[in-house]
Amino acid sequence: MYQDVIIAGFGGQGVMLIGNLLAYAGMEAGSEVTYIPVYGPEMRGGTANCTVVISSEDIGSPIIQSPKSLIIMNQPSLDKFQPKLVDGGIQILNSSLVDAAKAEDRVTTYTVPANEIADKLGNTRMANMVALGAYVQATGCVPLEQVKDSLKSVISERYSHLIPKNAEAIQAGADHVAEQMK
């Protein structure tokens, strides 16, 4: 098994958090994983992205130029990363902020109105979790339950009361994609 993904969005959208969560879940599921953020002053006020690799073997490169999959949380990220996605790759688009019409045919696209779904669940800030749920459903790279289970490990003590809500959001994202996959 080998999967890699670039997760990209605005600074405040929590892309780093779901990257961490995905990788953590991968580890707990017994895989090798790597996570690498883009960091530093360029980030300030701008976009953020990270790369996660999950594999049953030793991972060589943690940096991926032609990713097999994407989670795209905003429009600039689509513009930047879709061209790099391999032919036949999978992408999750947050259709609340991304123009789904721009999705290319050469790749498989799942759209999720992540902000709206999250909003309905009570907090737009969980849009990242919705997107992650969608992604996990679409790729099956880790068991969905493992992702939910790992929430407690990546969310700090102080916010632990939000874990059930986040799990719900993950599930909602997954459900949304399951619909599309049918």
Partner 1 sequence: MSEKKRIFIKGNEAISRGALAAGCTCYFGYPITPQNDIPEFLSTEMAAVNNGEFVQAESEVAAANMLLGAAAGGARAMTTSSSPGVSLMQEAISYMAGSELPGVIVNVNRGGPGLGDIGSSQGDYFQSTRGGGHGDYRTLVLAPGTCQEGYDMMIEAFDLAFKYRNPVLVLADAIVGQMKEPVTPWEPKAADNHGAEDWCIDGAKGREKRLLKSLFLEDGALAGQNRNLQSKYEAMQAEARADVFECDDAELVVVAFGSIGRIVKSTVRRLRSEGKKVGLVRPLTLYPFPSEVLRDLAKQGKRFLTIEQNCGQMVDDVRLSVRGIADSEFHGHMPGDLPGSDDFLAPIIKHLED
Partner 2 sequence: MSEKLVFDAPEIMIDRPTHYCPGCHHGVAHRLVGEVLTEMGLVDDTLCVGSIGCSVFIYNYLDVDAVEAPHGRAPAVATGLKRAHKDKFVFTYQGDGDLASIGLAEIVHAANRGEKISVVFVNNTVYGMTGGQMAPTTLVGQKATTCPDGRCAEEHGQAIRMSEIIGGLGGTAYCERVSLDSVKNIRRAKKALRKAFEMQVNGTGFGFVEMLSACPTNWKMDPIAANTRIKEEMIPYFPLGVFKDVTKDGEE
Partner 3 sequence: MARVEFREERCKGCMLCSTVCPKQIICQSSRFNKQGYKVAEVKEEDMENCTGCTSCALICPDLVIKVYREEKKEK
Contact positions vs partner 1 (CB under 8 A): 20, 23-24, 27, 32-37, 39-42, 58-66, 153
Exposure string (b/e) for 121-157, b if CB count within 10 Å is 16 or more? beebbbbbbbbbbbbbbbbebbebebbbebbeebbee
| 75 is a contact residue toward partner 3 (CB under 8 A) | no
Picked from partner 3, partner 1, partner 2, none, the partner binding residue 76 (CB below 5 to 8 A depending on kind) is: none
Picked from partner 2, partner 3, partner 1, none, the partner binding residue 44 (CB below 5 to 8 A depending on kind) is: partner 2
Q: How many angstroms separate the Cα of 47 from the Cα of each of 15, 86, 178?
A: 10, 22, 29
Picked from partner 1, partner 2, partner 3, none, the partner binding residue 128 (CB below 5 to 8 A depending on kind) is: none
Q: Which of 173, 95, 135 is nearest to 6 (CA)?
A: 135
Q: What is the DSSP string of 61-128?
A: -S--SS-SEEEE-SHHHHHHHGGGSPTT-EEEEETTTS-GGG--TTSEEEEE-HHHHHHHHT-GGGHH
Nearer to partner 2, 45 or 60 (CB): 45
Which residues here bind partner 2, judged by CB under 8 A?
41, 44-45
Q: How far is the CB of 10 from partner 3 (least distance, A)?
A: 7
Nearer to partner 1, 58 or 105 (CB): 58
Picked from partner 3, partner 2, partner 1, none, the partner binding residue 135 (CB below 5 to 8 A depending on kind) is: none
Rounded to whole angstroms, how far apart are CA atoms 128 and 73?
Answer: 8
Distant-in-sequence, close-in-space partners of 99: CB < 8 Å, separation ≥ 6: 75, 78
Which one among 30, 40, 45, 88 touches partner 3, defined by CB under 8 A? 45
Picked from partner 2, partner 3, partner 1, none, the partner binding residue 79 (CB below 5 to 8 A depending on kind) is: none
Nearer to partner 3, 46 or 140 (CB): 46
Which residues of the shown chain bind partner 3 in the complex (CB under 8 A)? 10-11, 45
